[in-house]
Amino acid sequence: MIEQAPRILLVDNGSRRAEATHNLRRIAAALAAVSGQPIVPVSLLHSDQIPAAALDGQPAHILATELEHGLAQGVRNWCLIPLFFGLSRALTDHIPQICAGLRARFGAFRCVMADPLCPLPEGEPRLVTILADQVSQVIPPNEPLPTQIILVDHGSPLARVSAVRHWLAQRLAVRGLLPAPVSEAVMERRPGAQYDFNGALLTTVLDQQAVRQPEQTLVLAMLFLGAGRHAGAGGDITTICNQAMTRHPGLSVRIAPLVGEHPLLIEILADRVRAQVQ
């Protein structure tokens, strides 16, 4: 029987951008302060390729390496807190494969995974509050209200992951937290009608909106946790919006802050920790 307290890992997908690892570490530190538990930030992929000099001299760790080092030191009890909105293949396939390979080398160990941030069908109402709060940050008082709120995320070839965005968009609309109708867009999608559940690309949605109403303001609600290739300063989303505003001079697009920048996210993660560590 495994009796040692679990080593808790906060796991994101990973990025080659230093800003993403800094954000992960900030969230892990805040979660440790709220939960009273040591929290180790790790990424599934990519972040170990960031030069340590860009990370205050502290190299980033990826999950497989962190587990391997811990197992070699005798750690046999792990708890993973996923920084993922839904059940992507990273959680259902990749992480189980990593654990299976390590069990073949190190023998049995316990590794439990908490729920993602928005487990369906029950969802996570606090994410709705976060998105609404972040949108409000880019709607100045005494200025014309936006004509459309567009909830944008990475996009996924899995219907169960796209369903998270659909659930949040529907709740934002139903709860009346925003001053305009809510639509959706994605940054990536595969071609073919079989992937229509994923939605339309952001650049397409912006052009369509501008054709319908040449003079208008749109706000992007950002279903992203931290800066990366798409979100954040210099990301694809900023470029796409700037290009759309150049094509359509009457169009104004405002980009809301990211989910990972909102303090309520820490409460959600702390509940995930409490559910696993009694």
For residue 234, what pLDDT band results from cuts at 50, 70 and 90?
confident
> pTM of this prediction?
0.93
Does the pLDDT of residue 132 top 60, yes or no?
yes
The 10s digit of each residue's pLDDT in 23-44 is: 999 999 999 999 999 999 999 9
Domain 125-260 has CATH 3.50.50.60: no
β partners of residue 182: 149
Q: Counting every residue, how long is the chain?
A: 278
Average pLDDT of the residues of the chain: 94
Q: Where are the alpha helices (DSSP H) in 10-72?
A: 18-35, 63-72
Percent of the chain past pLDDT 90, that is, above it, reads 83
The 10s digit of each residue's pLDDT in 65-89 is: 999 999 999 999 999 999 999 999 9
For residue 275, what pLDDT band results from cuts at 50, 70 and 90?
very high
Parallel/antiparallel/unpaired status of strands 182-186 and 77-82: unpaired
pLDDT of residue 123: 97
Residue boundaries of the structural domains of the chain: 7-116, 125-260
pLDDT of residue 89: 95
For residue 227, what pLDDT band results from cuts at 50, 70 and 90?
confident
pLDDT of residue 277: 83
Mean pLDDT of 42-56: 90
Percent of the chain past pLDDT 70, that is, above it, reads 99
C-alpha 43/C-alpha 148 separation (Å) is 34
pLDDT of residue 46: 86
Going 192 to 198 to 201 to 206, the CA torsion angle's sign is positive
Among candidate residues 88, 83, 87, the one with its CA nearest the CA of residue 268: 83
Does the pLDDT of residue 59 top 50, yes or no?
yes
Hey, do 7-116 and 125-260 end up sharing a CATH topology, with the first three levels equal? yes
How far is the CA of 259 from the CAs of 65, 79, 151, 213, in angstroms? 28, 23, 12, 29
CA angle 205, 264, 35 (to 5 degrees): 140
The 10s digit of each residue's pLDDT in 137-151 is: 999 888 888 999 999
Residue 46 tokens, joined = 């990519």
8 A C-beta contact, residue 12 and residue 22: no
Strands across the sheet containing 39-43: 39-43, 7-12, 77-82, 110-113
8 A C-beta contact, residue 198 and residue 162: yes
pLDDT of residue 1: 44
pLDDT of residue 144: 82
**Topology given in CATH for the domain delimited by 7-116:** Rossmann fold (3.40.50)
Q: What is the dihedral of CA 129, 132, 137, 138, to 10 degrees?
A: 160
8 A C-beta contact, residue 153 and residue 272: no
pLDDT of residue 278: 67
8 A C-beta contact, residue 85 and residue 223: yes
Write the burial class of residue 48 (CB in 10 Å: 0-12 exposed, 13-18 middle, 19+ buried). middle
| Amino acid identity, position 232 | G
- Residue 42: enclosing H or E segment and its boundaries? strand 39-43
C-alpha 135/C-alpha 179 separation (Å) is 10
The 10s digit of each residue's pLDDT in 98-120 is: 999 999 999 999 999 999 999 99
For residue 3, what pLDDT band results from cuts at 50, 70 and 90?
low
pLDDT of residue 2: 52
The 10s digit of each residue's pLDDT in 184-225 is: 999 999 999 999 999 999 999 999 999 999 999 999 999 999
Does the pLDDT of residue 231 top 70, yes or no?
yes
